Structure 1
Amino acid sequence: KGLLETLKPRHGIERLEIWGYTGDRPAWYSDTNYGKLRTVWLLSCPLWATVIGIKSLEELGVSDCRTLCELRSMPLLKSLEIWECDGLNTIGDLPALESLDVNRCEKLKTR
């Protein structure tokens, strides 16, 4: 198991930042019990292919995650920043989105 799998955060956290993690996405990241999590930043996490739709999330930043191909629907997300995610081609429904900043995501297409 990777280091991040071992360092499972407590369920009451509101902000999570992961920098330079080279392992697979930890199993706890798919846990639906993170209902207070509002902000997530993923920076230089090359093996994360999908960002799941954490229902409580309001702010998401993703940078230099080159194998990321999908961001799933997030109903409360207000702010999304994505930089240098060359593999990203799909973004799910974001009905509450107020701010969007996308830079150097070559495969991302509009409908």
Structure 2
Amino acid sequence: MGGADFYAVTNLPTDDLKMLGEVFTFIQEQGIYSLAELLTISQIHHPEWFSMIAMSRCYVVDKFIKSLAWEQETGYVRAADRQPAACDPDTGEVLPEK
């Protein structure tokens, strides 16, 4: 079975990256913690996502979902959301929390 890879010919890596951003946003906003659920939703409502995930990006999407599930289960707070420790401006010593 020779011939061109249709997906590779019709989609650019930049297209995948843009769609990945859309998929990640959707996953977070909808609280999706199952790759199977995402694939089912994608098949029905976002066939372009389904093609991208199934053909080339399943691993990274699965890892993203698993990471979000872990954050939810453990109560992990992302670095960007953490409060910086208060420091004494003269000594640099970390001050106790109030």
* Length-normalised TM-score, structure 1: 0.22
Work out which of the two has the higher radius of gyration on C-alpha atoms and give 1 or 2: 2
Structure number with the higher strand fraction is: 1
- Flag the structure with higher helix content: 2
